[in-house]
Every structure is written in structure tokens, then in C-alpha cells.
Structure 1
């Protein structure tokens, strides 16, 4: 039996490489703890062991103790299917899953086999069953799980020349294979859940506003298949928001909380140091030197948490909670004029991406061009 409205808060990428995860999460924890359900995307493995994956720029394992901090900050559920979750191999994935289970955080999107990685996460809130599916759309393919290899769940996006799927590849078209997988997985989850969320690791990193050509088609396909909300992340900068069939699509939640030294040129890991320099040239930005633990595009300080309210009549209301990122990289809830500035930024990048106009009210609730919230 339904027992009233359910509030869900959605966070983007979580990379807690620094000690004392509770300190870095404290600025957004009040919003997470006030929600009936808080969902984030765990970007990197939390482990002190494992072999470094070759062929991409690997992230280091984050401190295992920070998983307890993630739970303590208010997260109940995380997606795992991203381009770095396999960076410490099968051991890193196994350790991360064990730590999440011990902390009472439901997880989906990574596993020691594809069957385990694709298994949805389920929680019950207000008498309703809420399910989450998680997919990596950007590669690298070596991080994708198979029947005999640890990794993450995935959806294949086509490249113009048939090149392997990788974060640096030109990903252009949604494949029939991906649509079929979404339909099958969402239909199966619909048999067990009253509300279905789909998390997609997708898009173009470090670039304001712009959506890749496949992103809307992929997100719409998830809604068409039966999803109630689509959650995007990977770009490390927020993206626009749209509604499809009245269901919200957060094309990119940006950084939920990212504090890491792995993106600094001043380190002894050659591949990570080289990437820290090369990405500035590739994407045309210079990080603010004050943001030593979050050296992202300057516009990435305009951050947000997504907010969804599932009303007892089945109506879905969507909104944002504005977040400011303070040096050296700590996210904090924004208020007053700064909150309104961030809301206007999100309205502007939504239009700049070619999406229908939205209006964000002072309380964060979103209205789209059709008057649907």
C-alpha cells in the first residue's frame, strides 16, 4: 500500500581519493539525509589491492574506509558502471562490492561476471519498490564484464569507423543492440519494481552544455522502454535537463563529490600526469589553481543534485538542489543569490544543448516548455 510521497536525491560522480571522506561529503550530506532515498555514482574502486588495468589512464584505488563515509553521509544506493570501476581489476571490484554490502548501500553495475554486474539494485520506500539499473556507454571495452571477466554492465554506442569503444573515441549512434538490452532489462525489472531508474555513464567530458549525438536517443529509448527517470554522469560538468513522455532526464549531474590528486600534473604516475596536461589542450580550459583536488573546467563549480518526488498518485515531480564547489574541491549546498545563479546556468545550458526550455523555480522545481514538472 502506498504511504505518501517519496523524495529521491540524485548525485553525480563520487571520487573520494582523499582521506576523511566524511569531511568532503559534509557540505551535501544534509540534502542526502533529508531524502527518503539518496543515489550516487561511485566512479572508482575502493580497495588497497588489485592489478592496475592497462590501456587507459587508470584511477588509483580510493581508501576503503571512505565507503563507510559515503553511507554515513546519507547514500543508500549507488551505480557502478563507469569507465574507472575496473581500474584495479577483479580484486578492486570484489573489495568495493563487499564494502558497500557491509555499509548497507545497495549497488548495481559492476561484478565479477556480466550477470552479477547487470543485476539491478532494489530498495523499498513507502511501500514501493524502487529499482536501479546502471550502464557504461563510453568504454573502455576492456572494462566491460563478460561471462568470465569482471567489469561493468554496458551498452554499445556505435563509432563511425568501427573502432573499439573508449572514452576518447567518437561515439555517434545508438545501436539496436543497446535498445534491445534496455528493453529486456527494464521489462524484467518492471516485474519487480514500481519505479525504475536508469543510470547512464555517457557524454563528452570537460565541455560545457554540449551533448553527443547519441545521448538524447539513448535516454529517450530508456524512457520508451519503461524507465521513470534517467540519470546521466561522466562529463564532470553538469548538463541540461529534459522531459520525455513526462519523465525527467538529467543528462549530466556532474560531480557529486570529486576530490582527487590523480588529475594533478605534480605526481609520479606518468600516465596520469600526462593526461592532466593533455586534457587541458584537448578541451580548451585551464583549471582554477585554487581547485587542487578538483581541477576541472571553471564552469564545473556550478553543480547540482537532482531531486525527484514520487507522489502517492503516481505523479513524478523533478527538480534540482543547487550546489557550489569551494576550493580545493568541496561541494556545499548553495543558497540565496548563488543558488539562483546556478539555476539560471542550468536553464542556459539546457537551451544551448538544443533541448526544450525549462524554468527552475526558487524551490528548485522544474517546469518544461509543456508545463510539466
Structure 2
């Protein structure tokens, strides 16, 4: 395929990681298990779940995450990530100062970012990078609230898509989120059309879904993902649930409904801590979602099935074709992700195909090389 001025385009590989929460010291160690696959890509994108800051007032409205050490951003860059999404339910947990510090920290090593800012206009701006003369844009949206984290015309926060709740209550992670709204569709159409004017490939990251629950998709998830593609997105990537979700094709374009944990090592989810709200949530979520974490996973106390992880991969061909794949990842105690050895990789490929089917989506086949294909009906 030929670009502007008749230049021949090259094939480009893109690796996609889920939530990144690096609260612990020695951040390079926690990332080193997946870094070879991240560094091998032409572009690697992750989701930065929490602010990286040593200051800021704790936000009220959700169970607040602590700010991660600012110096750990350097480890994210060192592992090979050069672009991140920011729109999520915790990015505003340390207020405007936390967002400002995070953005400054990302700018220093040149990590492009989308989804948060000191104003809503900033938060909705696409991040754009160039690879081999081809431009790639990322847009990032929070679908789960809390509304106190949403950016406004003159308020720091994240970009957001309004999802209807079953009872008309405010959008919040614990609310019963059920339906795509016309307002959300309008935002997607406006922002994706603008991104299309500056990029050749548009990716949309959605912070969405039901946490700590295998396979199941909330009623709005497929609708909002389809709406993004209808508006012109080429790839949709999801995160938030802290466990992977299935993969779907819509109009021939891939949707990774949940990338799970890219690398999450934190003590904020332990019941053995001084913060009362975080301590209470660590206990309550086990009852709410019906799981008991493996006690060996002290820094990643998630659903036991969350050890079946993966990095998404996109091969963007010189002819414009988009081929999705997964790179299987195992999670070792106490929470370190590593590229899966062959036997575990086969198990994870089977797991992802199974949860896709269990969620009511069309069957997929995942080849031994990780490529994901639709299964003909």
C-alpha cells in the first residue's frame, strides 16, 4: 500500500497491554517478564491505571487508589511502552495535581498519552505517533465512572462516555450499567472523525466491564464497542475488569473486550493495610464477586482465573489489513507477569476462545502463533 507521495508503507506491529499498576519498588523487575514482547513491537500501548504522583488530595467518590511512585514511569518507558491510555476510574484519585504530575512524568520520556487532562478538551485529544511514516491515533474513555473523575470544561479529570444506569443513578463502578446512550455515540463520532484527519489508524480504548468476573460482558459493552467501529475506529481495546475477556470481530475489525492486567503489583488490594476504605473493599469484593484469591498472590490478589493473561497484538499490514493476535502471559506469585511457556500458552489460548464463546459471542480460533480468526458460522 502506498502512502502520501507514493511512499511504500511498511507493516507495523502493535502490542496492547491492559492495566498497569506499579506501586512497588524495583519496577523494572516486575515488567521484565513481558518486556521482550513489548520491546519487539513497533509500538506498545498500555493503560496507566493510577496517577504517578507524590502529592494531591485524595478524591472522594470511589475506593481511592494511592499514587504510584513517579519514578516508576521511567520503568514503563524502559520496558518498551511509548503510548498509554489514561481514562479510568482511578486516574483522578489524587486530584488535579496527580493528573498534572502524571502527564509531566509521561512527557519526560516521550510517552504519548490520551484520556486525561486538566480540561475535558485536553482529555479528549487523541494521542498520535508516527511509525514508518504511518500515523496511529489513540483515544481513551472511561465508561464506568465515578462521575467525580470526569473532566469538565475547566476541571481536571478523564474523558468519558455516559452509559445509562438501570435506575438512573450516577455512573459509578458499582452501579448497574446497562445501555449505550445517544450522547456517548455523539462523542465517539465527533472525536473519531477528528482523529481520522490526523491519523491512518485509529484505536479506541474503553475502560469498561464487570470487575473480577470471568467471561461475562455487561449489557452495554458490545454496543459501545460496535459504536466506536461504526464511527470509524479500526481497533477497540478494553480494560478495567482485572481479568481478560473474549475477542470479537465486528465489520471485520477486532475488539479486545478486556486485556486484563498488563502488570499489576500493589498492596492497595490487601486487607492488611491501614486505609479503611481500601481494607473494607478488599474484603467486600470477595463476597460480591464470589472468589477467594490465592494467598500466594499478595501483590495481585485477583480472581484465580486472572493468571490466564495475554498481551494483544495487531499486525497492521502494508496493504492496510489488520490481523489480531494474542501473546499468552502467565502470572507468577506474588503477581509478576511473564511470557507463557508452550504448555501454559496453549491453555491460555483455549481459555480465551472458551470465554469468548461463554460470553455469547461468535466462536473464534486462536492459532498456535496466537493469531485470532473468526470461525465461519
TM-score bracket for the superposition, by shorter chain length: over 0.9
Instruction: State yes or no: 1:70 paired with 2:73.
Output: no
Partner of 1:348: 354
> CA–CA distance in 2 between the matches of 1:2 and 1:294?
45
State the Cα deviation string for residues 235-277 of structure 1 (Å, max 9, x = none): 0000000101110000000000000000000000000000000
Alpha-carbon distance between aligned partners in 2 of 1:36 and 1:334, rounded to the nearest angstrom: 21
Deviations 1:95-118 (A, max 9, x none): 000000001100010011101111
Q: Aligned-pair distance for 1:370?
A: 3.7
- For 2:91, the equivalent position in structure 1 comes to 85
Distance 1:245 1:348 in 2: 22
CA contact (8 A) 1:2 1:128 kept: no
* Whole-Å separation in 2 of the counterparts to 1:205 and 1:157: 16
For the residues of structure 1 that align with 2:291 and 2:8, how far apart are their CA atoms? 49
1:339 equivalent in alignment to 2:353 = no
Query: What is the rounded CA distance, in whole Å, between the counterparts of 1:370 and 1:318 in structure 2?
Result: 17
Deviations 1:7-61 (A, max 9, x none): 0000000000111111100000000000000000000000000000012100000
Mapping for residues 295-314 of structure 1, pairs under 5 Å: 295-314=301-320
Scaled by the length of structure 2, the TM-score of the pair is 0.98
Separation in structure 1 between the aligned mates of residue 61 and residue 14 of structure 2, nearest angstrom: 37
Structure 2 spans left out of the alignment, 5+ residues: 1-6
2-structure distance, mates of 1:87, 1:100: 17
> Retained in 2: the 8 A contact 1:228–1:247?
yes
Q: Which of 237, 241, 252 in structure 2 is aligned with 1:246?
A: 252
CA distance in 2, matches of 1:281, 1:79: 30
Deviation string for 1:39-92 (max 9, x for gaps)? 000000000000000121000000000000000000010000000000000000
State the 4+ residue runs in structure 1 displaced beyond 4 angstroms: none
Q: Is 1:22 matched with 2:28?
A: yes
Does 1:32 find its partner at 2:38?
Answer: yes
Superposition deviation, residue 3 in structure 1: 3.1
Which residue of the partner structure matches residue 263 of structure 1?
269
Name the residue aligned to 2:213.
Answer: 207
For structure 1, which runs of at least 5 residues remain unmatched after alignment?
none
CA contact (8 A) 1:2 1:127 kept: no
Distance 1:4 1:340 in 2: 30
Q: Does 1:119 align with 2:134?
A: no
Q: SS at 1:22's partner residue?
A: helix
Alignment partner of 2:177: what SS?
Answer: coil
Q: Report the 3-state secondary structure (helix = DSSP H, G, I; strand = E; otherwise coil) of the residue aligned with 1:56.
A: coil
Counterpart in 2 of 1:176?
A: 182
1:45-64 matched pairs, under 5 angstroms: 45-64=51-70
Inter-partner Cα distance in structure 2 for 1:11 and 1:76: 12
Alignment of 1:152-301 (within 5 A): 152-301=158-307
Q: Please, which of 115, 135, 141 is the counterpart of residue 141 of structure 2? A: 135
The whole-number CA distance in structure 2 between the counterparts of 1:115 and 1:370 is 42
Q: Is the contact between residue 83 and residue 143 of structure 1 (CA under 8 Å) also seen in structure 2?
A: yes
Report the count of equivalent residues.
371
Q: Secondary structure at the match of 1:103?
A: coil
Q: Give the whole-Å Cα distance in 1 for the aligned partners of 2:81 and 2:292.
A: 32
Cα distance, 1:143 vs structure 2: 0.3
- Alignment root-mean-square deviation, CA: 0.7
